Chain A
């Protein structure tokens, strides 16, 4: 049973427009959420995170929104740039365990065209 779901395998956006990547989760114990970006043949690179006590976190062009009641989070990239083209993974952890094993979604491939 997948606890973190990214239902869109791919997304195409034009340069300068907004990219919105979505993620849903089922485990109500998750209280920390992260987005990672991954290029082929490289490890995931941390982008931005949000704690369950917040509903929004912003870092430059990247904003993550969390809707706990819907168990949904989204990553907004504005404006999108061709260099943003990569696979984006949503991940979640539950601090109740005392450490933070991450549960990942399957990823969304973002293609930003010039």
Chain B
């Protein structure tokens, strides 16, 4: 399977704990996006990488959130001091520009903060 993969698929944590999610994009894709989806809403943009450079961050990404993409391959999203409001599905997408750009999504990581 050469699609986008995410790990873990599910995470339950207690409020105040730190969590880290991983995304492995499609191998030739140099662009990587993180989105967050809550119940009844569409996915909302969090941050964007082109290769290893983080080029944009949404105002949704508070100081407790940090994302990295070392070597321009896989990416990690860390949430420090989790809050109940962080409970959501965290989605990763990758793409490559070929005239137009189509993003392909991974299966997501569902986070529940108790």
Hey, which bits of chain A sit against chain B, CB under 8 A? 4, 32, 34, 36, 41-46, 49, 51, 89, 91, 93, 95, 99-107
Hey, which bits of chain B sit against chain A, CB under 8 A? 4, 6, 31, 33, 35, 40-45, 48, 50, 55-56, 91, 93, 95, 100-108, 110
Given A44-B43, A89-B43, CB of A100 within 8 Å of CB of B55: no
Closest to B92 in A: A43
Given A43-B91, A44-B91, A89-B43, CB of A100 within 8 Å of CB of B108: no
Task: Name which of B4, B45, B103 has the most chain A CB atoms within 10 A of its CB.
Answer: B103
Of the candidates B35, B41, B93, the one whose C-beta lies within 8 Å of that of A106 is B41
Of the candidates B6, B40, B56, B105, the one whose C-beta lies within 8 Å of that of A36 is B105
Do B103 and A42 touch (CB < 8 A)?
no
CA of A98 to CA of B21, assembled, Å: 27
Do B40 and A106 touch (CB < 8 A)?
yes
Given A100-B95, A101-B45, A102-B45, CB of A43 within 8 Å of CB of B107: yes
Of the candidates B6, B50, B102, B110, the one whose C-beta lies within 8 Å of that of A34 is B102
Closest to B46 in A: A101
Given A32-B101, A49-B100, A89-B43, CB of A99 within 8 Å of CB of B31: yes
Do A101 and B42 touch (CB < 8 A)?
no
Closest to A93 in B: B101
Do A105 and B42 touch (CB < 8 A)?
yes
Do B100 and A51 touch (CB < 8 A)?
yes
CA of A34 to CA of B43, assembled, Å: 13
Do B45 and A103 touch (CB < 8 A)?
yes
CA of A106 to CA of B42, assembled, Å: 4
Q: For A43, list chain B residues within 8 Å (CB).
A: 4, 6, 91, 93, 105-108
CA of A100 to CA of B43, assembled, Å: 14
Task: Name which of A41, A51, A89 has the most chain B CB atoms within 10 A of its CB.
Answer: A41
